[in-house]
C-alpha cells in the first residue's frame, strides 16, 4: 500500500506569531498547537514534535507496536517540555496539544492524542468522521450529554483543554482504535485554528473535491482565513494512493 503526505501552516489573520508545529514524514505525521496564553507555546510544540519525528521510518509490525511507540514518544516530549520549563523560568507553564499518527503493518494507521488538535478520517462513499475526542471542558460536557455539538461549536470555553503536553508529569495519552486503510482513504490532522473557523461539512466538501494533496491543504487554510482566521492554522494530510 502506497501513501502520500502533505502539510501546510499559516499564522491566520489575528495572531502575530505561529505557535503551531507539525511533522510530515514517510511513516509518521503529527500536529502540535502551543497553548495560547502560555509562555513559549511555540517552543513547547517544537519540542513535542521533535520527539515524535524520531519515529519516522521505523516499521511497526502491528498497530499495538505503533501505539506503544507513539505513547512513549509523547511522554518523552512531555518530559522534555517539563525539563526545559524547570531550567528556564521564563518558559514555565508552556504546553502544547499533540495529535500524531503512525503507519503499521501493511494497512493500518494508529493515532495518539493529547488536547484538542483533531484527526479526521474520510473514505469515499462513507463521508467524514472525527476519530479523536477533544480533551476540553466543552468536549467533556458534550460526552456527558450536557451540551450539543452545535452548542459546543460556539461555546466561549471551547478551547480550554483538560490535558496538554508539558503541564503534567503524569500525562495520560489517548489512543483511539487503529484505522484499517484502503485505497482512496484520507486522514487529516489539524490544529483548532482550522476547526474553530470552519465546520465539518466544509471540511468534508474540501476533502471530497479530491484536489491535489498540497492544493487541498492550501484550500483548507484559505477557507479558515476566509472565515476570519482567528488562530494559527496547521494541517497535515495522508492519502492512500488509489
- What is the per-residue pLDDT for 51? 98
Beta strands (DSSP E) in the chain are 3-10, 20-24, 28-33, 98-104, 108-114, 118-123, 127-130, 179-180, 186-190, 233-240
Average pLDDT of the residues in 123-140: 87
What's the Rg (C-alpha) of the chain? 17
What per-residue confidence (pLDDT) applies to 161?
86
Per-residue pLDDT, 56: 97
pLDDT tens digits, one per residue of 87-130: 988 888 899 999 999 999 999 999 999 999 999 999 999 999 99
Residue 67 has a pLDDT of 98
∠ at Cα 26 (1, 211), nearest 5°? 70
The predicted structure's pLDDT at residue 90: 82
Q: What percentage of residues in the chain have a pLDDT greater than 70?
A: 89
Domains parsed from the chain with CATH numbers: 3-240 (3.60.40.10)
What does pLDDT average to over the chain?
92
Burial status of residue 139 (CB atoms within 10 A of its CB: 0-12, 13-18, 19 or more) = buried
Look at 161 and 174; give whichever has higher pLDDT: 174
Q: Quick one: pLDDT at residue 17?
A: 92
Which pLDDT band, with edges at 50, 70 and 90, does 82 fall under? Answer: very high
What pLDDT does residue 1 have?
A: 83
pLDDT of 156 above 80? no
**What average pLDDT score do residues 196-218 get?**
96
Who's near 197: CB < 8 A, 6+ residues apart? Answer: 223, 224, 225, 227, 228, 229, 230, 231, 233
Amino acid at each position: 500500500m502506497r501513501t502520500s503526505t502533505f502539510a501546510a501552516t499559516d499564522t491566520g489573520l489575528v495572531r502575530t506569531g505561529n505557535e503551531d508545529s507539525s511533522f510530515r514524514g514517510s511513516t509518521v505525521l503529527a500536529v502540535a498547537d502551543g497553548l495560547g496564553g502560555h509562555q513559549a507555546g511555540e517552543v513547547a510544540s517544537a519540542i513535542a514534535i521533535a520527539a515524535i519525528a524520531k519515529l519516522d521510518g521505523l516499521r511497526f509490525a502491528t498497530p499495538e507496536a505503533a501505539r506503544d511507540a507513539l505513547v512513549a514518544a509523547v511522554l518523552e516530549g512531555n518530559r522534555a517540555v517539563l525539563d526545559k520549563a524547570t531550567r528556564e523560568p521564563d518558559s514555565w507553564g508552556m504546553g502544547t496539544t499533540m495529535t500524531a499518527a503512525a503507519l503499521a503493518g501493511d494497512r493500518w494507521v494508529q493515532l495518539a492524542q493529547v488536547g484538542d488538535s483533531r484527526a479526521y478520517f474520510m473514505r469515499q462513499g462513507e463521508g467524514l468522521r472525527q476519530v479523536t475526542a477533544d480533551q476540553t471542558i466543552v468536549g467533556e460536557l458534550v460526552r456527558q450529554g450536557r451540551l450539543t455539538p452545535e452548542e459546543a461549536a460556539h461555546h466561549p470555553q471551547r478551547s480550554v483543554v483538560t490535558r496538554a503536553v508539558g503541564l503534567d508529569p503524569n500525562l495520560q495519552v489517548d489512543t483511539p482504535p487503529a484505522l484499517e486503510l484502503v485505497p482512496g482513504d484520507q486522514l487529516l490532522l489539524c490544529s483548532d485554528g482550522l476547526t474553530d473557523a470552519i465546520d465539518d461539512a466544509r471540511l468534508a466538501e474540501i476533502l471530497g473535491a479530491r484536489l491535489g494533496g498540497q492544493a487541498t491543504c492550501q484550500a483548507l487554510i484559505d477557507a479558515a482565513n476566509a472565515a476570519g482566521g482567528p488562530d494559527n492554522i496547521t494541517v497535515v494530510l495522508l492519502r492512500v494512493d488509489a
